[in-house]
Every structure is written in structure tokens, then in C-alpha cells.
Amino acid sequence: MSGLLAIASFSEDAPVGRRALYALRALEHRGGSRAVACFATEKGIECSSGESVRALSVSPGARAVVAAVYSSPSDCSVTRIEAGGEEAIALCSRPCPGARRAIEEAVSEALRGRNPVIDTEIPSFVALTSSGSIVAVRDSAGLTPLSVGGLGFDAAVIASETPAIEVSGASPRDWLRPGEGVVVSRHLAKRVEVRGAARRGHALCSFELLYIARHDAIVDGVPVYSFRKMLGYELGRVAKLSSIDVVTGIPETAIPYAIGLSQAIGKPFEIGFVPTGGERIRAALQGDPLARLVAIHMKMNPVAKALEGKSVALVDDSMVTGATAKTVSQILRYRVGVRELHLFIASPPLVSDCPHGVLSYDRGSLLAANMSARDAARYLEVDSLHWVDRSSLELAARVFGVPLCAKCFGIGVVGGSR
């Protein structure tokens, strides 16, 4: 996974280097193992990279910055290109070795103020030329979102998520449609649209709404928090369990789902865990199993007396290998002593590889693809196991008017088209 950012100032009185670094921190949940920032100087493009945003250095006086965070070094996609006779650098949402020429073409055309015609699929990207122009384009498949913001009359900010725009001090103005882009060059800013075969059919990656985005983000016009609460509500409505005493969620993505579920079944929501470390740790984004376990252990100290002796509905946003669920069920059973444990997963069972290469995992390690429901419940030591079903996901996608790619759930595309 990745988070992209581009900031360009229209005025020499309004430098954006500091803003860029703060904004990038608001994207760190999208990738915590690699960070890159590039800015234009008199001498060309200067880049800084490291394991985290804190390791980066960007000149505070910079007037044009592109930056990205990646969840693993192998997702990192920094491409040097040539556009309009200039050197440029493109930071892509995912590695796309075959798309380099297409990106070069898209950037060159955009800089000329023209709509690029492109026949291969390209990822979302932000690009910076050595003279300080910025081009940001959303992938034509529409999988990876980008939003546009403005800082008074002084700067434009483009980011994977709206909170990054807000943290930079700017206000979100709109979101880019699939294949839509913005170019900000010295004397002109323009909206461009990628045309060509790559434009056929598009949908947002479900995981953006289910898991990746911050609760305070608006993704493709969808308030993420409300979307999550609705799915939680659906989980409760469909499950019809009467024996539950309390509802809790795994911090922190699962919290709105748990609140929705709690409201659906009329049972109280309790804080079940307190994370250590302060920063949002994305366990499922850790590629290495040991690192994943470390992350889980760090964020899962139980508030034992809130749950002890109760019949607990435990909510998580998704289940990949089941490692988180297994660990948490052990904590709740043995350290806390719950009476019953019912596990609710706020997404459908993950059964296939991502055909778009947005998510990288090994199908062989997907719990839902390799285990029967009965075995899964036994392995996880839960009294019941519930997933969001297809019709609930469809309903939410329709209510929020967003087409969602759910191919990894074996479902295809659901929801409204726009």
C-alpha cells in the first residue's frame, strides 16, 4: 500500500516544505516502512528517503514537493522519467514496471495542457519536474483515490486522503475521478483527463473504505466513518444474536464498525484494548510474520474488567491470515476470562488474490480461502464467526453511491457507478 502527496505553491511568499512533511505524516497509516520526498531546487530535483517520515528532510522553502509512503520497500515505486524535455520523477501508488512509458506520456501531455490518450493501465501517481511543475493523476481503473485541496490563494495540495490536505492547513475541494488529473506548472494549473482504452470500467478498491483510510477521511465523496458504521450496523442486523452483553472492537480501524454493531443490537460498546506506542500500527500491513505479531502485541493490552465474565462481540475490520484474531481470542479467553466470544469481521471473506496488484498477500495464507467455517471457529476459539455478506456490502456501496472493486472477496464490482 502507499500514500501519495503533492504540494505546489503559486507564490514565493508561501513556501510548502514544512507543510509537506506534516501532511505526509497524516498518510503514514498507509505505509510505515518507506518514505520518500522530492522537491525542486535550482540544481534539479532533490530527494530524501528513509524508513519513516521523520527521517526525511525537505527544505522548508521548497515551492513544489511530491512525497509518498509505502508499506513495504517492495511496494516502493519511484520512477525517473523525462517529460517535456525535462527530468522528472514520478511516485506511483504501486509498482508498475510496464507503465513507465505511459506515465511519461501522461506527464508530458499534461504539461502541454492536453488530455493524454493512453491504452495501458497506469497506477495513480504524483510527478515533479525539475523546473517545479507538478502532475498528479488518478489511475484510470479508479482503484486508488486522490483528493485535491487549496490553501487560500497560495497553494494546491493533492493527497491520497483528505486528512493530509487538512493537516497541511489547506481545505479539501474535490476528489479526482478515475483517469482525472491536475497539472500545476509555473503559470498555469489545469484539470486533465486520461482518455483511451484504459478508461473502460472503474471501481474504487474496497479496502480503501474498509481498512486503509482514516476514519476522518472523505474518500470519493464517501465519509469513511459513516460507511464503516453502516457496515457494522448491517453485521448486527443480519446476525440476530441475542446472547451478547457487550461489543468491543480491535483498535483502531474496527471501532466505528463496533459502534455500528452496538447500535444495531442495542448492547453497549466498551473500550476493550489500549494500544501502546501512540502511532497507529497497521498489523495487517506488516509483511513479516514476526513484525506482524509484534504489532499485534503492542496494540492489544486488554481492559480486562470491561469484558470479564461477559458474552463479548469482538469486531475487526478484516481477516487475512487470522493471526490477529487468534491472538486476540487467546487474550480474551485466557487473560481476561470472557464467557462467550463472537467474532464479527466487517468485510466479506477474503478468498482471492488481488488481480490489480493493489494488495499483496499469498492466497495460500488466507484463512477464509483455506479453511471451512467450522474449522475456522475451532482454530480461533470463538463461539460464532460472522462476516459481512455480499448483500450488505452491495447495499452500503449503493447507499453511498460508490462503485467498489470486491474481486478479492470473489464478488466482482458492486455499487453505483458515477
- Is 416 a binding residue for other proteins by CB under 8 A? The answer is no
- Is 188 a binding residue for other proteins by CB under 8 A? The answer is yes
Instruction: Pick from 41, 46, 169, 352 the residue near other proteins by CB under 8 A.
Output: 169
> How far is it, in rounded angstroms, from Cα 405 to Cα 373?
24
- Is 178 a binding residue for other proteins by CB under 8 A? The answer is no
Task: Pick the stretch among 36-44, 154-162, 311-319, 407-415 that binds other proteins (CB under 8 A).
Answer: 154-162
Instruction: Pick from 49, 131, 150, 199 the residue near other proteins by CB under 8 A.
Output: 150
User: For residues 226-285, which are near other proteins according to CB under 8 A?
Assistant: none
CB of 21 to other proteins, least distance (A): 10
CB of 187 to other proteins, least distance (A): 5
Instruction: Pick from 48, 84, 87, 191 the residue near other proteins by CB under 8 A.
Output: 191
- Is 417 a binding residue for other proteins by CB under 8 A? The answer is no
User: For residues 31-70, which are near other proteins according to CB under 8 A?
Assistant: 60
Amino acid making up residue 126? V
User: Which lies closer to other proteins via its Cβ, residue 309 or residue 416?
Assistant: 416
- Is 187 a binding residue for other proteins by CB under 8 A? The answer is yes
1-40 burial code (b ≥16 CB/10 A, e <16): bbbbbbbbbbeeeebbbbbbbebbbbbbbbbbbbbbbbbb
Q: Is 376 helix (H, G, I), strand (E, B) or coil?
A: helix
Whole-angstrom CA distances from 15 to 4, 8, 21, 42, 214 are 19, 9, 12, 15, 27
Closest CA relative to residue 72, chosen from 275, 359, 324 = 359
The answer to whether 157 and 148 have CB atoms below 8 angstroms apart is yes
CB of 381 to other proteins, least distance (A): 45
In sequence order, which residues have a C-beta less than 8 Å from that of residue 148 and are 6 or more positions away? 136, 156, 157, 158, 165, 172, 173, 174, 175, 176, 182
DSSP state of 209: I
Locate 142 and state its grid cell.
479508479
User: Which lies closer to other proteins via its Cβ, residue 115 or residue 144?
Assistant: 115
User: For residues 9-28, which are near other proteins according to CB under 8 A?
Assistant: 10-11, 13-15, 18-19, 22
Locate 158 and state its grid cell.
493533492
> How far is it, in rounded angstroms, from Cα 373 to Cα 9?
54
Instruction: Pick from 66, 107, 170, 198 the residue near other proteins by CB under 8 A.
Output: 170
User: Which lies closer to other proteins via its Cβ, residue 15 or residue 249?
Assistant: 15
The site for other proteins, by CB under 8 A, has a size of 34
Closest CA relative to residue 344, chosen from 226, 207, 275, 246 = 246
Instruction: Pick from 47, 78, 189, 265 the residue near other proteins by CB under 8 A.
Output: 189
- Is 179 a binding residue for other proteins by CB under 8 A? The answer is no
Q: Is 23 helix (H, G, I), strand (E, B) or coil?
A: helix
CB of 32 to other proteins, least distance (A): 20
- Is 182 a binding residue for other proteins by CB under 8 A? The answer is yes
Task: Pick the stretch among 29-37, 165-173, 333-341, 402-410 that binds other proteins (CB under 8 A).
Answer: 165-173
The answer to whether 53 and 167 have CB atoms below 8 angstroms apart is no
In sequence order, which residues have a C-beta less than 8 Å from that of residue 409 and are 6 or more positions away? 206, 347, 348, 349, 350, 351, 352, 390, 393
User: Which lies closer to other proteins via its Cβ, residue 105 or residue 180?
Assistant: 180
Residues that bind other proteins (CB under 8 A): 10-11, 13-15, 18-19, 22, 60, 113, 148-156, 166-171, 173-174, 182, 184, 187-191
